[in-house]
Amino acid sequence: MNIRVVHQGIDYTEECADEIKDILKEKKIYLINVMGSPGTGKTSLIIGLIEKLREKYKIAVIEGDIAGQVDAEKIDKLGIAVVQLNLGGACHIAPLSIKEILDYFDLDDIDIIFVENIGNLICPAEFDIGENLKIAVLSIPEGDDKVEKYPLLFAESDVLVLNKYDMMEYFDFNDEKVVEDTMSINKNPNIFRISTRTGREVESLVNFIDKKIKDN
């Protein structure tokens, strides 16, 4: 295991999302930005999607965290190219970090890049990192009030994953409230009720991503 670790500078303010999009378009790479709280299941979701999508696509991952490389190690064990991005005190991944990390991959041998953004419901939603698809992950244990409290993430995302759905029976989680709150700020939410533990609806999200890539 030899995971490359990159550190984001505090002065990484350059707006280069359009440059990233141009690079990805030229190389025919689809970038997926996965956002949500710490512990919401972003890594497990990405792993579940990789296991299905790798049959058809070549995949790489950028793991964003304050420190460490715990999640990157999980991805590395799958034999997937991964770069660990440590943000220090930053609350989001800067576009410049993505631009620089692209140089560490063989872009001619990649179809999809997953970016696991730092665990945060606020800052990541404010920044365009050149992604093709934004996925917001909300786990059942977090509660049904998060869309109301942190609307920007759910307004800006193309997909809402209600994760750990197998735990619905153990929590007072109002699914209808979350859907109503989301639709009040996002007119075209694509909502998936997923359990990576049981595999519930993972295939549906895989098919959705597959179609998005084909239509891109």
Helices assigned H by DSSP within the chain: 17-27, 42-53, 70-76, 95-101, 146-149, 151-156, 175-183, 202-215
- Phi, psi dihedral angles at 117 (to 5 degrees): -70, 165
pLDDT at 1: 64
pLDDT at 145: 98
pLDDT at 10: 64
Q: Are 186 and 174 in contact (CB under 8 A)?
A: no
Q: What is the pLDDT of residues 43-79, one digit of tens each?
A: 999 999 999 999 999 999 999 999 999 999 999 999 9
Spans of all domains in the chain: 4-209
pLDDT at 9: 73
Q: What is the pLDDT of residues 106-115, one digit of tens each?
A: 999 999 999 9
Please name every residue paired with 116 in a beta bridge, in sequence order, or none if there are none: 34, 63
pLDDT at 12: 65
Torsion of CA 148, 66, 15, 42, to 10 degrees: -50
pLDDT at 110: 98
- Kindly give the parts of the chain with pLDDT less than 50: none
Q: Which of 44, 26, 25, 24 is nearest to 34 (CA)?
A: 44
Give, as one character, the DSSP assignment of residue 195: B
Q: Are 86 and 6 in contact (CB under 8 A)?
A: yes
Q: Which of 48, 38, 198 is nearest to 114 (CA)?
A: 48
- The CATH class, in words, for 4-209 is alpha beta
Pairing of strands 112-116, 59-65: parallel
Q: Which of 144, 136, 124, 129 is nearest to 160 (CA)?
A: 136
